[in-house]
Amino acid sequence: MRRINPYVYSEVKKVDLNTDLPYNDLVTLDRVGKTDFKYHVEFPEGVTSMKHVVIKKTDYEAIKNILAMFGTVTYETYLKVFGHPLSESTDIEHDKFAEYGFSEDIHIHSGTEFILMAGVPLEDGNIDPEQFQVIEFCTRPAGLCPYDIKVSIESTSTTATISLTPDPEITDYRVFVDKKSEFDYWRREGEAQVRSVVIGHWDDSTNPVPRAQTGNVVLNPTGLVPNTDYVVGIVGFDSERHECVKYIDFRTGEPVGPKPQIAIEAKPEEVTAPWKSAAYNVKIQNAVSAVYGYFLKSQIDEVLANGAEISAVIQNNGITASEEQLAEMLTSEGITFETSDLSANTQYIFGVYAINDEYVSTAEYVTFTTDMLPQIGGETRNNMPGRYTASTTDVNGNTVTFPVTITTGVDDATTAEYALANRLVALGFGPESQFPYTSLSDMIAAGHTAEEAADLYGPKWFIEFREDGIVVPKPDNLSWTMGNFGTDDNSYFWAVGIRPSTGRDMDNLYDFPIEVSADGNTVTVKGYYNENIPAYYYPTMCTAASSWWFNDIQFRCYSELVLTRDTSTSAYLHRGAVKAPKTVVINSFDRSVKESRQRAADLMKK
């Protein structure tokens, strides 16, 4: 039975003075005060579990807007995710604050709209639409306080002095200072929302910025931004908890200190691989913080075309300098930032953003283009193209042979593409009767686009010339395919071996080292040796849809793959080593912040 509050259900008094009435609804609002309310959740007959939750209406609407691009949020879906479970009919009473379903506090203020929900979950966790109820209600208004709080404000470029003198009848009050733009944001949601922001948590010790004051007070907020509009929000209370609400605007002054200065100087003498590396020295003055970064110029141009400022792009996407880095920037020698993560023949921007203690900022940047990829490999690379017979062994130790042609490309486009990547292409892998070569033109004639054909012709694999040797490059992230031979998934160059301890197969993606004989007529694809197991992996053609595992093995080498040149295409004698620049690995990029942002966005989508 319940004893109803005539304030909530005053119309009942007109027809029945008996206030002892049974609960007939899933949820019933029993009492509503200024900063408190009480409700009852009633279990229907035969129901063993229910959920309930209360949320401020403006918060619910904001959550709906955030998730609008991912799907529709309804009362039922909100209750499913954030509702509190109950096992029996219960009275719930809240005074000043209640808990959300996601462990945040909801602070109850006067004259504020709330949404109360209760329902019965089905076996799949969804809320039964036939056993669900929602009530919208508003807490009681506090009433106008007849007393006042006198305020005077003096401001500099980054600070303010706010003097507050309340009338004696004002028992306590809340004060909150923020940018006018922030107050305008909350004003879109109504006066009650702005007032609740000023009051904050009733337990002031849990407010990120303390708000509670009594008596005459002088506040000195610091860290303000020059030439910016601010608002002082005030909510005062008398002994009856009536409210005196005031919003006072003020503006910070002009900055008085010097602007930050940035000097960027290229350091080509510190770059040993100009097709993938860059180095710039940075010196700054009059700054307390700095952000720097290397960026693809094409990406910067795209953002600038949409109206963004390059200073904002650097600030929001660059790397914040550490205290040690900032200290070096401020010296006469400066600090040099290097990277070896760049792509060849590509335009980049190196930019620096700096800000002083008055929040005055400056940005400087330079544009540069990396060199063309060097033609690593010398005579070996020039002489390697030709026709070969490949040989390896099968699972029984028998020799398996098949033809392989090594070439610079299969048309002008692929030749240019492979040259930039320091690659030759090998055509043929596995018995020709099982995996006949399908050319680029064959693929196009079969209805594929030129781009698809360039990806799927084959079987093919690559020979890549690097500074530290020659390899068959692994298809990292399935970046290149050997072709497709009538399967749902494409074929890839995999590494498969046998684990000695168990005799079972093991696999991974590895770069296979290549050796070339002194006369240039024998090319050997060596096994990849994993010393941690220890065991060898050998070249294998597998279908795959993920770089984490393969689906089916199509052809597997159980030993090294040896290519012997046909005598009709003998190579020139190769003498001497292949010379290449020293590899310098510099980690200038830090993507952790972007990754954490992406993780947060993914959580919102779930």
CA distance 440 to 451: 10
CA distance 75 to 123: 18
CA distance 585 to 599: 28
Which range, of 303-307, 424-428, 559-563, averages the lowest pLDDT? Answer: 303-307
Q: What are the tens digits of pLDDT across the range 133-177?
A: 999 999 999 999 999 999 999 999 888 899 999 999 999 999 999
Residues of the chain with pLDDT > 90, as a percent, come to 59
- Residue, of 278 and 461, whose pLDDT is higher: 461
CA distance 512 to 520: 19
Q: What are the tens digits of pLDDT across the range 83-132?
A: 899 999 999 998 887 654 444 567 899 999 999 999 999 999 999 999 99
Which of the listed CATH numbers 3.20.20.140, 2.60.40.10, 3.30.429.10, 2.60.40.740 matches domain 2-138? 2.60.40.10
Q: What are the tens digits of pLDDT across the range 37-88?
A: 999 999 999 999 999 999 889 888 888 887 777 778 889 988 998 889 999 9
> Under CATH, domain 149-251 is a member of which superfamily?
Immunoglobulins (2.60.40.10)
Residue 21's φ and ψ, nearest 5 degrees, are -125, 145
Contact indicator for 495, 509 with CB cutoff of 8 Å: yes
Place of tokens 């799907």: 71
Neighbours of 258 (CB within 10 A): 12
CA distance 7 to 33: 9
pLDDT at 225: 87
pLDDT at 453: 93
Which of the listed CATH numbers 2.60.40.10, 1.10.1740.10, 1.25.40.10, 3.40.50.300 matches domain 261-369? 2.60.40.10
CA distance 352 to 363: 6
Contact indicator for 149, 167 with CB cutoff of 8 Å: yes
Contact indicator for 559, 444 with CB cutoff of 8 Å: no
pTM: 0.53
Residue ranges of the chain assigned to CATH 2.60.40.10: 2-138, 149-251, 261-369
CA distance 511 to 122: 53
Q: What are the tens digits of pLDDT across the range 348-396?
A: 999 999 999 888 899 999 999 988 776 778 778 878 888 899 999 999 9
Closest CA to 186 of 233, 219, 145: 233
Closest CA to 426 of 384, 469, 383: 384
Please determine, for residue 289, whether its predicted confidence score (pLDDT) is greater than 80.
yes
pLDDT at 594: 24
CA distance 491 to 473: 15
Contact indicator for 388, 562 with CB cutoff of 8 Å: no
Contact indicator for 497, 506 with CB cutoff of 8 Å: yes
User: Mean of the per-residue pLDDT values for the chain?
Assistant: 85
pLDDT at 107: 83
Q: What are the tens digits of pLDDT across the range 440-495?
A: 989 999 999 999 999 999 999 999 999 889 999 999 999 999 999 999 999 999 99
